[in-house]
Amino acid sequence: MQKKFRSTGFFRIAPAALLALCFLQGCSVLRPSEEPSADEATETASTSGALAFTLDVRSENGSVARHLERHLEIQRFNRFPDLRDTEFNRLMAEAETNARSLLAALGYFNPQLSLHVEDTPAGSEAPRKVVIEVEPGAQSVVQSVNIGFAEPMNSDPQGQRQRARVERGWSLKQDDVFTQSDWDSAKNAGLRVLQRDRYPTARIESSQARVDADAEKVDLRIGYDPGEAYRFGALELQGNERYDAQGIRNIARIPTGTDYSEEALLDAQQRLASSGYFDAAFLMLDTENSDPQNATVIAQLREAKYQKVVFGVGLSTDAGPRLSIDHIHNKLWPLGWRAVSQIAVDAKSQQLATQWTAMPRESGWAWFTGAQLERAEVGDYTANSFMLTAGRTQSTGHIDRRYFLQYDFSRTEGSDTPGSSSSLLGSYSWTGRYFNNKTNPSSGYGVGWELGAGYTLTPEREPFLRGRARWLQFVPLGERNEAGRRSRLAVRAEAGAIVADSGTQMPLSLLFLTGGDTTVRGYAFESIGTRAFDDRLYGGRYLTVGSLEWQRPMTLFGNSSDWEHAVFVDAGSVSDDNAETSVYTGVGTGIRWRSPVGPLQADIAYGLKLEQFRLHLRMGFNF
């Protein structure tokens, strides 16, 4: 026996249409002299109290029974105590067809069904019971998969590579159990592979699941029509009046002339949205009125006002309660640069800072300058510091670059302190981020480094070198769960060094301290350093930090969730002499919630050196 099931657009819109129809008919009234229509019965059922019948689905397969009880259409009419026999008989006749359709969607194409009605004892919640006995049989499996593509994809070398990605990533493979939901997911996933790169107008031209119910086999056939291959053209701005149009295009950096990429379009949209010049930014490719080889990108923008003041209140386990006031000016006279100034106060520091940044050039490079005045607890000292910096910065794709000249001055308060010192430092930094997700990564890596050369200015003039490097990698482990997520290892390492004469006094802001939520858990923020002055905590010239963390998705009540469990070990040290290094180790466990803006983390860690527990809370992902 051969049966054919063809997917159509109707099944994608029918649930929404039914819901809308139900709302539109919410005021209908069932008249005693008329038999209820299906739609009228549905609405009146939600308001009636007494039960006309109950439904009992019996099967050795409990999941099948629960699925039918939840989705059978006859359930919609069980609260009509005056349901007429003719209407009830019609519902019973339709119930078998409905049950077979629901079972077919689960891959059971040859079930044995038995429907009958039983009278219930007096005093029961309903006068009768509809009983459906089900022997679903074996689930059908996929016998073959045929994926076809229309021209010009087959003759285009780049299109062939994309075709290979669709075939390689096809999720419903030979010998897999067939279900309608898996079939729909596989088709749509293949379509998304095409639409993400080069073929934004791709569509499913045809699809067919050919079922041999007797043999319990399904042959799948799908044809994709990729449409035209698109290339990025010029960026058209809509809604921009206050700010320099070319500067805005330089921020977006649409790769004109290259193949269309959804990722590149979303990255450009994110750069505009996070630039501070706009309250909203939405980018789309014009596929209706543009040449596919030079397709216009339309940016729909809602400009931000020139000035804005933001008040912030926060709490962290490292620095306690925090209050901040930010003032933002998007076109500050006389340079017209964007200026972000902040006053911030917490339990350990008071800070006044400002950062001015110009619109980027066509190359992506932008000038910046900034200043910071701070009074803070640094180790066992209270230090007053001042920093002035100026340079250029560039952010392209996954890579950030920056070179700058920086002046630092610091002075410690009280007697028996290192006193004051100052320096001038020229540095270059490079950061590459290659994660699969910008806010909640589960694989990939990031690497960054900074190298500078400078001179101390006071109390004496001495040359020095300063370098710092960091690395983070996520290593997936095991099989994916129902939500497509896997366990992973998060491996983190950081190292820093200052090379100078042993008697050279460095500004406190350039020395290294570690410990806290993002470094060595189990210890307070920047509580790991040297004991160079009167056995009091002070910054050091050499830094090493390492961390190994196992992250595992959690299952709640048998279902996948956005929660994860983590077990970790951190270690770090700060010293002035590598031969006299003391390693601080922390071990612990914690939970993670994958929020839309990044992971929310709560960790409890035990510092082996101090033999104490410490709670660490953190929000978001940064590298």
Indicate which CATH number applies to the domain containing 31: 3.10.20.310
The model's pLDDT over 190-230, given as tens digits with 9 standing for 90+, comes to 999 999 999 999 999 999 999 998 888 999 999 999 999 99
Whether residue 64 is predicted with pLDDT greater than 50 in this model: the reply is yes
Last residue of a domain, one of 135, 154, 179: 135
Residue 245 pLDDT class (50, 70, 90 cuts): very high
Higher-confidence residue of 65 and 38: namely: 65
For tokens 């070179």, name the residue: 403
Least trusted range by pLDDT, from 392-396, 436-440, 505-509, 579-583:
579-583
Q: How many domains would you assign to the chain? A: 4
Phi/psi for 199 (5° steps) reads -125, 70
The answer on 492 and 545 residing in a single domain is yes
Inside any domain, residue 341:
no
The model's pLDDT over 526-577, given as tens digits with 9 standing for 90+, comes to 899 998 667 788 899 999 999 999 999 987 766 667 899 999 999 999 998 7
Inside any domain, residue 121:
yes
Six token digits for residue 93: 């006749």
The answer on 109 and 80 residing in a single domain is yes
Inside any domain, residue 322:
no
What confidence score (pLDDT) does residue 435 get?
95
Last residue of a domain, one of 202, 225, 248: 225
Six token digits for residue 7: 């997917």
Residue 332 pLDDT class (50, 70, 90 cuts): very high
The residues, any chain, with a CB within 8 Å of residue 466's CB and separated by 6 or more, are 425, 427, 450, 451, 452, 453, 454, 496, 497, 498, 499, 510
Inside any domain, residue 336:
no
The answer on 524 and 494 residing in a single domain is yes
**Based on the number of CB atoms within 10 Å of its own CB, is 189 exposed (0-12), middle (13-18) or buried (19 or more)?**
middle
Across residues 396-400, what is the average pLDDT?
Answer: 87
3-state class (DSSP) for residue 585: strand
The answer on 169 and 153 residing in a single domain is yes
The answer on 189 and 284 residing in a single domain is no
The answer on 489 and 380 residing in a single domain is yes
What confidence score (pLDDT) does residue 29 get?
31
Last residue of a domain, one of 182, 197, 225: 225
Whether residue 403 is predicted with pLDDT greater than 50 in this model: the reply is yes
**How crowded is residue 596: how many other Cβ atoms within 10 Å of its Cβ?**
7
The answer on 146 and 130 residing in a single domain is no
Q: What amino acid occupies position 65?
A: A
Inside any domain, residue 519:
yes
Residues of the chain with pLDDT > 90, as a percent, come to: 60
The answer on 71 and 15 residing in a single domain is yes
The answer on 237 and 221 residing in a single domain is no
Inside any domain, residue 193:
yes
Contact in structure between 478 and 487 (CB atoms under 8 Å): yes
Inside any domain, residue 598:
yes
Domain of 210 in residue numbering reads as 141-225
Indicate which CATH number applies to the domain containing 526: 2.40.160.50
The model's pLDDT over 166-185, given as tens digits with 9 standing for 90+, comes to 999 999 999 999 999 999 99
Residues of the chain with pLDDT > 70, as a percent, come to: 90
The model's pLDDT over 279-311, given as tens digits with 9 standing for 90+, comes to 999 999 999 988 999 999 999 999 999 999 999
The answer on 372 and 427 residing in a single domain is yes
Contact in structure between 568 and 590 (CB atoms under 8 Å): yes
The answer on 575 and 439 residing in a single domain is yes
Across residues 126-154, what is the average pLDDT?
Answer: 89
The answer on 283 and 174 residing in a single domain is no
What confidence score (pLDDT) does residue 161 get?
86
